[in-house]
Amino acid sequence: MCKPRLAVFKFASCDGCQLSLLDAEDHLLAVADAVEIVYFPEATSHMEEGPYDIALVEGSITTPHDAERIQQIRKDARFLMTIGACATAGGIQALRNWADKDEFMQAVYATPEYIQVLETSTPIAEHVQVDFELRGCPINQYQLIEVIRSLLAGQTPRTPRHSVCLD
């Protein structure tokens, strides 16, 4: 029987959420046994095109190319889950949304005319339908493994509404 195909994609981010997944080691190995990881550039050079059963998406949309790429990922993915504050809320890079991006470009790049960037950094859900959001910076790796396990078991994933206790 074919295993579900899992893919991990990165947009503008620090990679910390993907590394959280890799840090889960033994738990990840258990999940890796139940799925076929067909796209995960952070972990392997082996990359396959869609369709995917589960797509994990880290990072925010900041360039015209990002905006096109996430549309294709959505078409290819049966279940799309965003992981981390960058993907679910725009991330630290969204701080520029309240300023003039051209001023930043002039200050940071010697040749800003070669840089193509959107006016804002936005969460994935502002571009495509997202099936599940896992928040945190970084995400809790055990919550992520638990969500993947739930999906594989055909159950609705359950995670706390907050990543810290607010009581």
Contact positions toward ligand SF4, by CB under 6 A? 13-14, 16-17, 58, 84-86, 91-92, 137-138
Given the complex with ligand SF4, which of 16 and 50 has the nearer CB atom?
Answer: 16
Q: Could you tell me how far CA 42 lies from the centroid of its own chain?
A: 12
Nearest distance from C-beta of residue 86 to ligand SF4, angstroms = 3
Pairing of strands 132-134, 77-83: parallel
Given the complex with ligand SF4, which of 15 and 100 has the nearer CB atom?
Answer: 15
Given the complex with ligand SF4, which of 24 and 137 has the nearer CB atom?
Answer: 137
Given the complex with ligand SF4, which of 137 and 152 has the nearer CB atom?
Answer: 137
129 CB neighbour count, 10 Å cutoff: 8
Given the complex with ligand SF4, which of 4 and 16 has the nearer CB atom?
Answer: 16
Q: Could you list the beta-strand ranges (E) of the chain.
A: 5-10, 36-39, 52-58, 77-83, 132-134
Nearest distance from C-beta of residue 16 to ligand SF4, angstroms = 3
Nearest distance from C-beta of residue 111 to ligand SF4, angstroms = 27
**Nearest residue relative to ligand SF4 (C-beta):** 16
Nearest distance from C-beta of residue 12 to ligand SF4, angstroms = 8
Nearest distance from C-beta of residue 60 to ligand SF4, angstroms = 8
- Long-range pairs for 65-74 at CB < 8 Å and ≥24 separation? 65/116, 66/11, 66/12, 66/118, 67/118, 67/127, 69/9, 69/11, 70/11, 70/124, 70/127, 70/128, 71/127, 71/128, 73/7, 73/9, 73/128, 74/128, 74/129
Pairing of strands 77-83, 36-39: unpaired
